[in-house]
Structure 1
Amino acid sequence: MPEHDPEQELGPKISSALQDHAGHTGLQKSGLAREARRRVHRRRQAWSAAAGAVLVVAAVGGVWGVVGGESPVASQGDSASSEGAAAPRKTPDAVAPNAEGVECPPAHPIQQATSLQPTVGLDLSTPVTELRACRYSLTGAGLLGQQSFNAADAQQVVDAIKVLPERNPDLPVFKCAPQTAKPSEAIVLRFGTATGVREIWVVYDGCTDAGFFTGTHTYGLYSAPLKLFMKGEVRPTNGTYLRALGDW
């Protein structure tokens, strides 16, 4: 019977172990390689998706270009939203521009009026944005002159009229023939307001009545408001009640 040699038994075990180790190492290397390839693939997918998103934004006209910079032209939607955000909020007291305009018409209803009460009279509590003073001949000559005033001056005229009584007791009461009763001229104050042009008619000639007429109220004729707008072409050369008033 041959003698038992431990080295002969150990040799195959070592060989088998080495083979197992080599195989395990190969598997590990193979697994690491696959993991590396998988990560590289995921990075490529991420970069592709990001690049695609940038191109889509550029295609629809967004505010970012292909390289991620700011585009000088915004999309139509962005412009609309910007305008909407910048639009001022309307308030009940806001005064909108007057679309009609306060220019003096060459012919005016005051020239044919039988009653000196404007149908579009100004409520003196209404904010005003501008004033055009229009001086008319009531005997056929038409517009004699006009003068423009800004919002501050217009409001000053309104404020000076609203505190007046209905009649100036210092003015005389005339007795005159019907043919001389009608004024030869008068002034129309045309104010710009949020609801359109509103007027005050100013009568200072004739011999029946004098004052500021709003259509719903009469204010006596006093010199303080007259001095604010009787300027330039609007300043009369004469007037029955102006002569009696003295300091206009």
Structure 2
Amino acid sequence: MPEPEYGHEQELGPKIADALQTKAHAARGLQASGLAQVARKRVRRRRQTLIAGSAAVVVALSIGGVWGAIGGPSPVSTSADSSSAGGAGDADSREAAPSLPGPACPEQHPILTAGSHEAVQPGVGLDVELPVYGLQACRYRLLAGDTMLLGAATFNATTAQQVVDAIKVLPERNPTLPVFKCAPDTARPSEAIVLRFDTRLGIREIWVGYDGCSSAGFFTGSRTFGLYAAPLKLFMTGTVRPTGGTYLDHLKGW
């Protein structure tokens, strides 16, 4: 029998060991490479997650900003509104804006002590060319020792302007009304009406005389307009409407 070639086996042993070691190194390399890939994938996923989260925050902030601009106060838009309100149209707004509503008919009005329904104080009477934005009609009893507010009514801007427009076209006197001659003690009217108009300058008044025997008409302190039915019908309603008067008894249509 031939003898085994121990020398050849001895040569194969180291080769096999080297091959196994090379494979083991390769396997470890592949394993390390796989781990590296997994690590890199995890890093990428984390980076993508962070980017997505940042984008969501940006979107949320953007939506929040838009909502704030639409549904909430914005300093920029408020400034713009303020500047536009105070711009070129501001003078027109001030010109057209009505004054704040005046107080109700005062219980103690100057007409109660004026001595005459013609005695409208300077600066109180209405300039009939001035726009008006509301009206309070106040009816007073003027008898000595028995002065008081008898009735009151409030009218809107439309009616107020209609009253003024109906008055300002009247002549100074109504020639159809009689001229009375009476003693001073009977000349004083028993009642009169004060028309208090809201204007951009504040409350301005017209005093209305229809009783007594001295004079009748609409008095502003600077102008006198005759007593006619057209304006009276607009505000003589409810408690403001008299039961009669020296001049009213001779005036038709009121």
Which segments of 5 or more consecutive residues in structure 1 lack a partner in the other structure? 1-43, 59-63
After TM superposition, the score normalised by the length of structure 1 is 0.69
Report how far residue 224 of structure 1 moved: 1.1
The residue aligned with 1:111 is 112
User: Partner amino acid for 1:108?
Assistant: H
The residue aligned with 2:169 is 163
Look up the SS of the partner of 1:105 in the other structure.
Answer: coil
Whether the aligned pair in 1 keeps the contact of 2:142 and 2:190 (CA below 8 Å) is: yes
Q: C-alpha offsets along residues 144-197 of structure 1, whole Å, 9 cap, x if unaligned?
A: 001111111111111110111001111111111111110110000000001100
Which segments of 5 or more consecutive residues in structure 2 lack a partner in the other structure? 1-46
Moved over 6 A (4+): none
User: Using the alignment, how far apart are the partners of 2:252 and 2:101 within structure 1?
Assistant: 37
Q: How many residues align?
A: 192
Q: 1:180 to 1:82 in 2, by over 3 A?
A: same
User: Using the alignment, how far apart are the partners of 2:73 and 2:201 within structure 1?
Assistant: 36
Please identify which structure carries the higher helix content: 2
- Is 1:194 the counterpart of 2:192? The answer is no
- Counterparts of 1:75-154 in structure 2 under 5 Å? 77-78=75-76, 80-84=78-82, 87=85, 89-92=89-92, 94-99=95-100, 101=102, 103-115=104-116, 116-119=118-121, 120-139=124-143, 140-154=146-160
Q: 1:79 to 1:179 in 2, by over 3 A?
A: same
Whether the aligned pair in 2 keeps the contact of 1:132 and 1:147 (CA below 8 Å) is: yes
The residue aligned with 2:64 is 70
User: Using the alignment, how far apart are the partners of 1:117 and 1:216 within structure 2?
Assistant: 10
User: Partner amino acid for 1:181?
Assistant: A
Report how far residue 79 of structure 1 moved: 5.2
Q: 1:75 to 1:136 in 2, by over 3 A?
A: closer
User: Using the alignment, how far apart are the partners of 2:225 and 2:78 within structure 1?
Assistant: 50
After TM superposition, the score normalised by the length of structure 2 is 0.68
